[in-house]
Structure 1
Amino acid sequence: MTITREAELAALKVIGRIVARTMHAMARAMEPGMTTRELDEIGAALLEREGAISAPRSAYGFPGATCISVNEEIAHGIPGDRALAAGDLVNIDVSASKDGFYADTGASFQVPPGTPAQDRLRRDGRRAMEIGIAEVAGGRPLAGIGKAIGRFASARGYTLIRNLASHGVGRSLHEAPETIATWPTRGDRRRIDTGLVLTVEPFLSRGGQWATEGDDGWTLYADPAAPVVQFEHTVVATPRGAVILTLPG
């Protein structure tokens, strides 16, 4: 969506805070032995308490309130009986709606204790997202997001998953503009409208280039197999840059 009224921005900030607080609360609750279903139940309860509706469940019939992806799973992991273990790399993706407005956020965490290599990957994954967000402003090219992220990734020896893109959001979970690349592309001449609401969510990897679907019809894995992290914010474009909507406040 493209924001045209202050009331729309205020409503997006409300749901943005809700999904951000939910994600961070889930991350704080992680501990060895907890199942991903138990972790999802924490997220579901927090969303319900705030009067928010799980977006993947309501929009697509996803079998969970949130997406929880562990280690070899890189996105859309189904909450279930898998027990978390010390050192696991866990991606938590929370998207929800309230009063007809949607926000989407995600981040990769590690069940303590972490390792220096995983800490570095997560730190660089967050930095890749921040570099992409810095390219968001009214009138600037959409392709500039992926160009900047690609330059950062290449300089540090990383790859990017090239079939999981950013997207428009606001009045639905996925809307125009669709397939906003977080990797370098050619021929995309689209410009960012002032007021545009979109996600910035690069998938940074140590070798993975594509996401492939598993047998359950939801969970995605890296091809070639490699560690992957994802960090995501919902932002709105202004003439002076991006305003991040998915902050816990």
Structure 2
Amino acid sequence: MTIETEEQLERLRRVGAIVAAVCRLMGSRLEPGMTTRELDDIGRAALERDGCRPAPSLVYDFPGATCISVNHAVAHGIPDETRIAPGDMVNIDVSAERDGIFADTGASFVVPPAHQAQERLCRSTRKALNRAIQTVRPGRRLNMIGHTIERTAREDGYTIIRNLGSHGVGLSLHDESPGFIPSYYERDDRRLMTEGLVFTIEPFLSTGAEMAEEQADGWTLATAPGIMTAQYEHTLVVGKRGAIVVTI
């Protein structure tokens, strides 16, 4: 999607603020013993209260309002009767539609007590996201995003989950413009960031995996047990002087 009017930008800001607030709410309600379905119910109620339709179920008939992935599950985890335990790393991905516009955000949370290795991985993944956001300018190549994420991961001793990455968003959950944006440097990608372009940035940094494999449920993407992966995600617009992040 390319933003063409202030009214479109305002609609994007509105739904972006809601999904960001819901993600924070869900993270704050995490506690040992609760199921991922119970956590999803909290997110569903908050989204619907603010006039949003959960995007995963709306677009893909996903069996949940949000995606909740625990430990070596990396993405698209189905909310179910899985019980959250102390020390679990839980990724919460919240996306929704309101007034015809979609926004998408996500974050990884560690249920106390957190291990130092988990905290370090989360810090590095947030750093990769923030550095990638700083590259956003009209006229720059989109592959600067992957270049920056990959460089940060290598500096800190992590790998990239290469089959997951950033994507266009706005008029749909996964917009064809600009489409998929790798989280690694794709030298031959000559697509440019243009003013008003809307997309996510979402690095997946891992302690050793480079691919996430689809599980038997047909949805969950996971690595081998024992490997940790963190993800953080924002939806943004390419502004005249840099990124306008709408999911803060």
Match of 1:220 in 2: 221
TM-score (norm 1): 0.97
Deviation (angstroms), 1:225: 6.0
What does residue 85 of structure 1 align with? Answer: 85
Q: Which residue of 2 aligns with 1:4?
A: 4
Q: Secondary structure at the match of 1:130?
A: helix
Alignment of 1:42-61 (within 5 A): 42-61=42-61
* Counterpart position of 2:38: 38
Structure 2 counterpart of 1:29, one-letter code = R
User: CA, structure 1 residues 166+223, in 2 after alignment: closer, same or farther (shift >3 Å)?
Assistant: farther
Q: How does 1:1-249 map to 2 (within 5 A)?
A: 1-175=1-175, 176-222=177-223, 226-247=227-248
Label 1:152 to 1:73 Cα distance change in 2 as closer, same or farther (>3 A): same
Give the distance between the partners of 1:59 and 1:112, measured in 2 at CA: 34
Deviation at 1:227, TM superposition (A): 0.6
Structure 1 unaligned blocks of 5 or more: none
Aligned partner of residue 185 in structure 1, secondary structure:
coil
Cα offset for 1:48? 0.7
Query: Kindly, what percent of the aligned residue pairs are identical?
Result: 54
Specify the SS of the correspondent of 1:126.
helix
* Conserved? CA contact 1:209–1:223, under 8 Å: no
Q: How many residues are matched?
A: 247
- Alpha-carbon deviation of 1:18? 0.5
Distance 2:209 2:122 in 1: 15
RMSD between superposed Cα atoms in Å: 1.0
User: How far does the alpha carbon of each residue in 1:190-215 deviate from its partner, in whole angstroms, 9 at most, with x for none?
Assistant: 10110000000010011110111000
Deviation at 1:10, TM superposition (A): 0.5
Q: Which runs of 4+ in 1 moved over 3 A?
A: none
Tell me the amino acid that sits aligned with residue 241 of structure 2: R
